[in-house]
Amino acid sequence: MGAINAEAREWQVDGPVAGQPSLVLGQFDLAKHGYVVEEFFLAGTARSYKDADGERAGPDAMAGYRTRLLVCRPAQASAFSGTVVVEWLNVSGGGDGAPDWMFMHRHMMRTGMAYVAVSAQKVGVEGGGRMGNALGGMKQANPERYGSLSNPGDSFAFDIYSHAGLAARTDARLLGGST
């Protein structure tokens, strides 16, 4: 199996999605600081991986997925530094959390970076996890907005995250351009 690349694209991006995304990014208005927040849906076919020979992981199953990407970027293209931080959202609390954003947002915004949050794990989309349904997944929090999302399981998260990173690199819409 070869590496996933933009030429052999196995995903598609839809959006930006109208309305208010469900992810806490702090208690301040990003627009007042020259930033835009947009949400996109990423859909494709992901591979899962398993321990193939005791030394390295190998491909296992394939399954379809549909998840979300949340993008924070400078509103003005001239303010964008060209650096993009892509965060695999943390689901330890039973839903998506953005610890990297919380720790780094001041620096990212001061220096004109863009930020892409990836809902790579099943709990972030579907809910559940070790904490029960404490915060719930997006589908529980807003079934109308997120009802079309699906995640086949955490063993597919690596591929989903890889697709998100490549989409951020190759789909101009995510960073304020056109396709």
Per-residue pLDDT tens over the stretch 126-179: 887 665 545 578 998 899 999 999 999 999 999 999 999 999 999 999 998 755
Domain annotation covers residue 143: yes
CB atoms near residue 87 (< 10 Å): 19
Q: Does residue 92 lie in a domain region? A: yes
3-state secondary structure of 47: strand
Residue 3 lies in a domain: no
pLDDT value for 1: 39
Name the residue range of residue 59's domain. 11-175
Domain-embedded: residue 165: yes
Q: How crowded is the C-beta side of 108, counted as CA atoms within 13 Å? A: 22
Looking at the chain, the whole-number percentage of residues with pLDDT higher than 70 is: 87
* pLDDT for the residue 7: 53
- The torsion defined by the Cα of 31, 32, 34 and 36, in degrees rounded to 10, comes to -10
Phi, psi (5° rounding) for residue 79? Answer: -90, -10
The type of residue at 91 is: V
User: So what's the pLDDT on residue 90?
Assistant: 93
Q: How many domains does the chain have?
A: 1
- Separation between Cα atoms, residue 29 and residue 72, nearest integer Å: 12
> Residue 6 falls within a domain, yes or no?
no
Whether 5 maps to a domain, the answer reads: no
pLDDT average, residue stretch 6-35: 86
Place of tokens 């101009």: 172
Q: pLDDT tens digits for 42-53?
A: 999 999 987 766
Residue 94 forms part of a structural domain: yes
Rounded Cα distance between 30 and 34, Å, is 7
In a domain, 140, yes or no: yes
